[in-house]
Amino acid sequence: MKSRTWTLGSICSLLVVISAATSTLYAAPIRVNCGGGGSINNALTSLASAGNTRGITILVAGTCRENVVITAFDHLTLEASPIATIQDQSNGTEALIEIVNSYDVTVMGFTLNGGSAGVSCDADSNCTLYLNSIQRAAAIGVHFGNSNGQILNNNISNTAGKGIAIYSSSVSTVSNTISGNVKAGVEVGYKSDLTATSDTIQNNAIGIEVIEGSVLRANDLTINGNSSDGVDLESSSAASFGQINTGSVITGNGGNGVSNNDLSFASFSGTNNVSGNLTQPDIACNPQYSATRGASTVGGTTNCTEPQHSK
């Protein structure tokens, strides 16, 4: 085998190639001051025109009066620095932040006011929402459609529709507060998959609605004060209630704690408390042909019957 001799010129050439590659991934942050006439959309348009759509951080200050569209970006972070607000200009007809066909987009630290949705993550995108206050959307606080992502430590409140809507998507939520929404706090639909951990879901219509063959994995949730059911399972959906730390507490809801309907299934493991809901029983098995496992372990009432397994 021939050995290769590295000359100073070849080493310098290699360093230039490495530098060019890493500059794409770790470009210096771009600053947008909306209070000084800056625009997030203008910054995104300039980046896209230059072919610079990968490894970008945009630091935003002030109040941005625009509906932001993010298309075909890769590893983009949109960060309030130190504080920033995005205010709807569409009179509730467009999403406040629309993310389309983009991989690894993070939206962090904003107050998001209005829009048809506060954030909409669509068309095979991957989105992370962290430490945002998302409020007063006309239809949905956070929407995922045919996409994946994470919703972490956000406050999602006072929408005229649903707090979070997840359709044909796989999403995890951790430590969010979802409250005061006119319809469901969370809706999981159309063969979607939600893993929810340590969220507080209160004072909505329904707490969590799971429909159309979707799956909910619930750990350590607090679901209370909703005017209808705490969790509603419909149309061949499934929910498992597990315990990582405290287990889930589902109490004080106007309907059942867990309402199980139409070929759906619920299972309970570890320590959970489903009791004290205003419609009895706390865990309801309703026609047609719903089923549970472990419903008798959660402290409340149930009309669900389960087979006794012989040893």
Model confidence at 197: pLDDT above 60: yes
Task: Give the model's pLDDT for residue 24.
Answer: 44
Task: Give the model's pLDDT for residue 26.
Answer: 57
Q: What one-character DSSP code corresponds to residue 235?
A: S
Confidence of residue 294 (pLDDT cuts 50, 70, 90): confident
- The mean per-residue pLDDT over the stretch 159-171 comes to 98
User: Do residues 212 and 240 touch, judged by C-beta distance below 8 A?
Assistant: no
pLDDT > 70 fraction of the chain, expressed in percent and rounded: 89
Q: How far apart are CA 183 and CA 191, in angstroms?
A: 20
Confidence of residue 262 (pLDDT cuts 50, 70, 90): confident
Task: Give the model's pLDDT for residue 194.
Answer: 98
Confidence of residue 308 (pLDDT cuts 50, 70, 90): low
Q: State pTM to two decimals.
A: 0.87
- The mean per-residue pLDDT over the stretch 128-156 comes to 98
User: Do residues 291 and 260 touch, judged by C-beta distance below 8 A?
Assistant: yes
Q: How far apart are CA 270 and CA 101, in angstroms?
A: 39
Radius of gyration of the chain from its Cα atoms, rounded to whole angstroms = 23
72-107 confidence digits (pLDDT tens): 999 999 999 999 999 999 999 999 999 999 999 999
The 3-state DSSP class for residue 120 equals strand
Cis preceding-peptide flag for 29 (omega within 30 of 0): no
| CA dihedral for 168, 169, 175, 181, sign (positive or negative) | negative
Tokens of 107: 């939206």
Tokens of 49: 């025109």
Model confidence at 13: pLDDT above 80: no
In the chain, where are the structural domains located? 26-160
Q: Residue 83: count other Cβ atoms within 10 Å of its Cβ.
A: 12
Residue type, 106: T
